[in-house]
């Protein structure tokens, strides 16, 4: 529930129940009609029923593989796996073809005896959803706007999700052009050995916003996250901890956030003057749309999602199981783009965090054509999209006349987790060709207000220092790259 943007009762539960009921009634009617009219012969009806059973059998097999305590991808990709699977399955298939009536009765018995299991899962899902009222999915109240602070600098903090230092700068492929990142590098403090505080957004963003190491995090429901900090014994709620936005407001600055994944508008809205956010992609089975849908449209999407969840469906010609997620991600990025341009160009916002879902897979950009795409693309394409996004944000600030007077900090929440994505249906040959290197480092660039002199910093450090650096900048203590070094190296 923490990661849901919409109330799942309306967005997921009702469409699923309506779909289950509709399919059940339709199949029952078709069965009775075929039996009573003897259409195509009684045996043909049993063959059709057995064909229909392939869908629940496939879904059950996928569910079974997901709950196993070990990863089966290397096993499935082995050369001998499919010949062995065909050999093992040949007997049951031949028996089914030769004895369709017996096989049909067996399948019906299995499905009927599984009805209590289905009921149990539906009850658990509905109960889990109904634990929280509809209002729990609404954003909290925002902080009151403060009067503009004359003479103070402003900070725009941009986090590109899963951007790797090695790919973007350190060992960039020759055919990957990133003119906007290169331009920023030539006028910024540029760190070559920065490391993120965690490998997952769930923990990394709280670390960066709090300026403290989060060693464990678990959702409490739609509106908060329990966190365990290195600096204290007790487990506390993220919403109750002072953060970098509270510090900025204490200094007289208005604050804003545009982001994804975390429900920022529910957790830390009280620290923000403006807040816009979208959810991340939820787990298979509970995927939610970007916006509320009519019931029929939601049911149609559930049919497509169930089909895409079937085993080996991605090997069918022209079928891409990830296309739904790419299309939804494109919609969410377009929403975030518009809000981000609004925030970064607003001179009354003293501290703005822009947390964008790129280059986090799946890729949604075709760098050869320079356009968003729902087709299968590589991580490098999404890194090119990062460059485009940075250019758009810079132009928005330049057009508003605030670029020169703004300190811009660009980094990532973690690097490219090749170990997570390799072997998935979104992994490409180009991903494989560039992935055999250390990709978990993150970029760290600071373009200070009024400064254009480049500086390179090669000492290793953790980006957990970001809150301390932003606070020092807002307090007017950072004037040049030497001051940035001093803050990073302070103990």
Q: Using one digit for the tens of pLDDT, what is the confidence trace for 156-168?
A: 999 999 999 999 9
In sequence order, the β-bridge partners of residue 160 are: 356
- pLDDT classification of 13: cutoffs 50, 70, 90: confident
Mean per-residue pLDDT for 21-31?
A: 86
Is residue 439 over pLDDT 60? Answer: yes
Mean per-residue pLDDT for 219-235?
A: 92
Mean per-residue pLDDT for 66-70?
A: 68
Token pair 């290195």 is at which residue?
Answer: 230
Here the contacts of 144-149 (C-beta below 8 Å, separation 24 or greater) are 144/273, 145/254, 145/273, 145/348, 146/249, 146/252, 146/253, 146/254, 146/273, 148/254, 148/347, 148/348, 149/251, 149/252, 149/253, 149/350
Is residue 72 over pLDDT 70? Answer: no
Whether omega for the bond prior to residue 362 falls within 30 degrees of 0, making it cis, is yes
- pLDDT over 70 percentage in the chain: 96
pLDDT at 394: 98
Determine contact, residues 101/48, Cβ cutoff 8 Å.
Answer: no
Q: How far apart are CA 65 and CA 298, in angstroms?
A: 27
Q: Which of 180-184, 228-232, 404-408, 468-472 is predicted least confidently? A: 228-232
For CA atoms 123, 124, 127, 129, the dihedral sign is negative
N-terminal to C-terminal alpha carbon distance within the chain? 39
Q: Which of 149-153, 270-274, 407-411, 417-421 is predicted least confidently? A: 149-153
Mean per-residue pLDDT for 269-296?
A: 89
pLDDT at 138: 95
Is residue 264 over pLDDT 90? Answer: yes
More confident residue, 260 or 67: 260
Determine contact, residues 442/164, Cβ cutoff 8 Å.
Answer: yes
More confident residue, 431 or 76: 431
- pLDDT classification of 368: cutoffs 50, 70, 90: very high
pLDDT at 457: 97
pLDDT at 69: 64
Tokens found for residue 233 = 């014994």
Mean pLDDT for the chain? Answer: 91
pLDDT at 71: 64
pLDDT at 306: 80
DSSP H stretches of helix in 53-99: 54-67, 73-77, 81-98
Q: Using one digit for the tens of pLDDT, what is the confidence trace for 341-356?
A: 999 999 999 999 999 9
Q: How far apart are CA 199 and CA 107, in angstroms?
A: 44
Is residue 229 over pLDDT 80? Answer: yes
Q: How far apart are CA 118 and CA 116, in angstroms?
A: 5
Mean per-residue pLDDT for 279-295?
A: 83
pLDDT at 70: 64
pLDDT at 319: 78
- pLDDT classification of 154: cutoffs 50, 70, 90: very high
Q: How far apart are CA 189 and CA 196, in angstroms?
A: 17
Q: How far apart are CA 374 and CA 319, in angstroms?
A: 12
Q: Which of 63-72, 126-135, 209-218, 455-464 is predicted least confidently? A: 63-72
Q: How far apart are CA 237 and CA 218, in angstroms?
A: 10
Kindly report the CA angle at 325 between 320 and 330, in degrees rounded to 5? 115
Determine contact, residues 217/206, Cβ cutoff 8 Å.
Answer: yes
Domain assignments of the chain as residue spans, ordered by start: 8-136, 153-489
pLDDT at 322: 81
CB atoms within 10 A of CB 49: 20
Domain 153-489, CATH class in plain words: alpha beta
Is residue 119 over pLDDT 90? Answer: no
Token pair 């096989």 is at which residue?
Answer: 103
More confident residue, 80 or 433: 433
Q: How far apart are CA 481 and CA 463, in angstroms?
A: 16
pLDDT at 425: 80
């Amino acid at each position: 529930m923490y990661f849901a943007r919409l109330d799942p009762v309306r967005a997921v539960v009702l469409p699923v129940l309506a779909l289950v009921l509709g399919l059940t009634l339709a199949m029952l009617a078709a069965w009775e009609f075929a039996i009573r009219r003897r259409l195509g012969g009684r045996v043909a009806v049993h063959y059709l029923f057995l064909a229909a059973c392939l869908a629940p059998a496939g879904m059950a097999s996928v569910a079974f593989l997901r709950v196993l305590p070990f990863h089966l991808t290397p096993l499935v990709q082995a050369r001998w796996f499919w010949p062995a699977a065909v050999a093992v399955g040949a007997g049951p298939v031949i028996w089914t073809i030769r004895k369709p009536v017996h096989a049909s009765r067996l399948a019906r018995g299995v499905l009927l005896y599984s009805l209590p299991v289905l009921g149990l899962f539906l009850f658990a899902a509905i109960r889990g959803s109904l634990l929280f009222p509809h209002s729990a999915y609404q954003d909290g109240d925002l902080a009151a706007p403060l009067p503009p602070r004359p003479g103070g600098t402003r900070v725009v903090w941009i986090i590109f999700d899963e951007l790797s230092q090695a790919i973007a700068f350190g060992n960039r492929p020759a055919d990957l052009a990133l003119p906007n990142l290169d331009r920023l590098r030539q006028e910024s403090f540029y760190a070559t050995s920065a490391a993120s505080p965690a490998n997952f957004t769930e923990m990394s963003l709280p670390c960066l916003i709090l300026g403290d190491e989060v060693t464990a995090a678990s959702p409490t429901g739609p509106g908060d996250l329990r966190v365990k900090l290195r600096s204290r014994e007790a487990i506390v709620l993220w919403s109750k901890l002072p953060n970098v936005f509270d510090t900025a407001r204490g200094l007289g600055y208005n604050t804003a956030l545009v982001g994804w994944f975390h429900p920022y508008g529910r957790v830390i809205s009280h620290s923000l003057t403006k807040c816009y956010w979208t959810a991340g992609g939820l787990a298979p089975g509970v995927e939610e749309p970007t916006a509320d849908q009519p019931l029929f449209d939601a049911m149609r999407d559930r049919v497509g999602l169930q089909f895409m969840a079937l085993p080996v469906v991605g090997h069918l010609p022209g079928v891409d199981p990830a296309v739904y997620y790419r299309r939804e991600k494109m919609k969410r990025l377009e929403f975030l783009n518009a809000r981000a341009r609004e925030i970064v160009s607003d001179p009354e916002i003293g501290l703005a965090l822009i947390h964008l879902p790129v280059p986090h897979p799946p890729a949604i950009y075709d760098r050869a054509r320079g356009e968003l795409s729902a087709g299968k693309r590589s991580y490098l394409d999404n890194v090119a999209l990062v460059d485009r996004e940075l250019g758009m944000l810079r132009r928005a600030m330049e057009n508003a006349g605030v670029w020169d007077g703004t300190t811009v900090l660009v980094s990532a929440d973690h690097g490219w987790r090749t170990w997570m994505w390799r072997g998935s249906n979104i992994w490409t040959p180009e991903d494989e060709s560039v992935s055999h290197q250390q990709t978990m480092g993150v970029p760290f660039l600071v373009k200070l207000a009024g400064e254009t002199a480049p500086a390179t910093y090669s000492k290793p450090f953790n980006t957990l220092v970001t809150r301390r650096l932003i606070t020092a900048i807002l307090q007017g203590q950072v004037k040049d790259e030497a001051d940035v070094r001093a803050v990073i190296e302070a103990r």
